[in-house]
Amino acid sequence: MSPLLQIAEQLACFDAKPIDLGELRPAAVLVPLFLRDGEPWVLFTLRPEHLEKHAGEISFPGGSAEDEDRDFWQTALRETEEEVGIRGADVQRLGRLDDFYSVHGYRVKVCVGSFPSDYPYRLDSNEIDEIIELPLARLRDPQIYHQEDWTHKGRMFPVDFYHLDGHNIWGMTAAVLKQLLARTEAVAAQPPVVQALS
């Protein structure tokens, strides 16, 4: 069985917990996965330093919903195509994670999908500095993870961090990654699968 199909089956075992929108603004991100040498990898983006929000941070493709978006999946896929050039038609939907709260006032829907390997990315230089590709198996190493307590608006919150190959993944992106890793642990237990890349 393909590791990506295993991930889809694992995600299907969990209901995505919603967050009431309230005064929060709707947004969505895509956790993009692909196969390299038969193993699942994750795509991240590095935001430029000139942005007002998330400057210099590693994140998943995504952004705020627009009126013409039919649903949160369309938001995630539209933003992904705009930022890195992966067409929505080339993304296979694998499942969902819980909703996440952004400190910038967004309720973020998290979609998980896969796309063909060796994809011809097309970056929007106004939003993305570079693409970072990391193997899911190495992100499971407990040595690269730690958590800190931060204060925001008078309340203390746990903040997750992953450090790998000089990359610092933290905040909501790290929290999303942590949940993805937790809900797909069974995939890591499988022996390596060697197959031709599509």
| pLDDT band, very low/low/confident/very high, at 189 (cuts 50, 70, 90) | very low
Q: H or E segment at 156?
A: strand 155-164
pLDDT of 103 above 90: no
| Residue 94 near residue 87 (C-beta atoms within 8 A) | no
Asked if 27 and 106 touch (Cβ cutoff 8 Å), the reply is yes
Q: Which domains does the chain have, with CATH numbers?
A: 3-140+168-186 (3.90.79.10)
Structure tokens at 166: 């000089």
* Model pLDDT for residues 52-97, shown as the tens digit of each residue: 666 689 999 999 999 999 999 999 999 999 999 999 999 999 999 9
Residue 129 tokens read as 């500095």
